[in-house]
Amino acid sequence: MTDEIRLTGLTIRGHHGVFDFEKRDGQDFVVDVVLRGDLSRPAATDDLADTTDYGALADDLAAIVAGKPYDLIEALAGALADRCLAACAEVEVTVRKPQAPIAHAFTDVAVTVRRTRAPTQWRAVIALGANLGDALATLQDAAHALDLHPRIDVVVGSSVYVTVPVGGIDQPDFHNAAVIVDTTLPPHQLLAVCQGIEVGAGRTRDVRWGPRTLDLDLVHLCAAAGAVHDQDAAPPAAEVRLADPVLTLPHPRAGERAFVLAPWADLQPDALVDTPRGRERLTTALAHADDADGVQRAGALVWTAEQTGRSMQPAGAGRADLAEHGDPAPAAGGDRG
């Protein structure tokens, strides 16, 4: 899904053209722009800071049209597109020149350019949990489903742990694991993919902290992918922090839950996590977790590069369809505690 912001009919006097009189006398140029990207965050927060200020964008585009003269409207359109890409992932710019010096009757002359910004690379930690059915197979299938997505690569997976449930509800023990993924999906789209995989596994959201066929928690996200083992502690500037009705990052309770910390520490033992005591290494936070005694390594790996497990896709779904089965329920990267 791609959302759009449209600004049409922006009319500005400019001095563009190959003829001297065009640069001297000027004429009106009409600009239409379509900005494409993910608008789920501003839709949830209702905050101008989370979207494009199209008033400010119009001012910037007008300054470009009224500024440096170009011979070709193709060049002008390219300059306008470059400015728009600072605010979106994909842009379409049309420049119209209704007063072009053409010696015949005509309605309009226009050039349209389309540009795409190189996608941002994200590195995410996703915690997996299940305690119904064949939980181990479910976790392995879920990791495989993530890796099937065309914009997600599973980098490494943890051992699987058997953990005692938290929350006081009588239910079977959980199987928990973690994977690190590289993705070009922005945070809310990645969350939607995770929720789609949960739905494909038969997940329902009936009882908080209750049993479930599959739980995928988006625990931690960095704005740039780095080596897993030699750059465990991400620079603070790279760590993504979100707090909106849809998603909270980092996961607000990850630093207190051994069933999250133990698998994650398999992959990044020196990574830092927020805890009630402040920022701590994962291994330190794990030692302080109230549920640490209820966590036992099961031995199996949740994912390997050679994995060929069963796909969690709904019947008839393709690879890209995984992103279309989102769950509208708000999430703090997930909801098991």
- Residues tagged active-site: 97
CA distance 175 to 216: 12
Half-sphere exposure of 204 (CA within 13 A, CB side): 3
Q: Which of 94, 308, 305, 325 is nearest to 194 (CA)?
A: 325
Write down the residue that tokens 């936070």 correspond to. Answer: 285
* CA 302 from centroid of its chain's CA atoms: 23
CA distance 331 to 193: 13
Q: Which residues contact 207 (CB under 8 A, 6 or more apart)?
A: 169
CA distance 223 to 336: 25
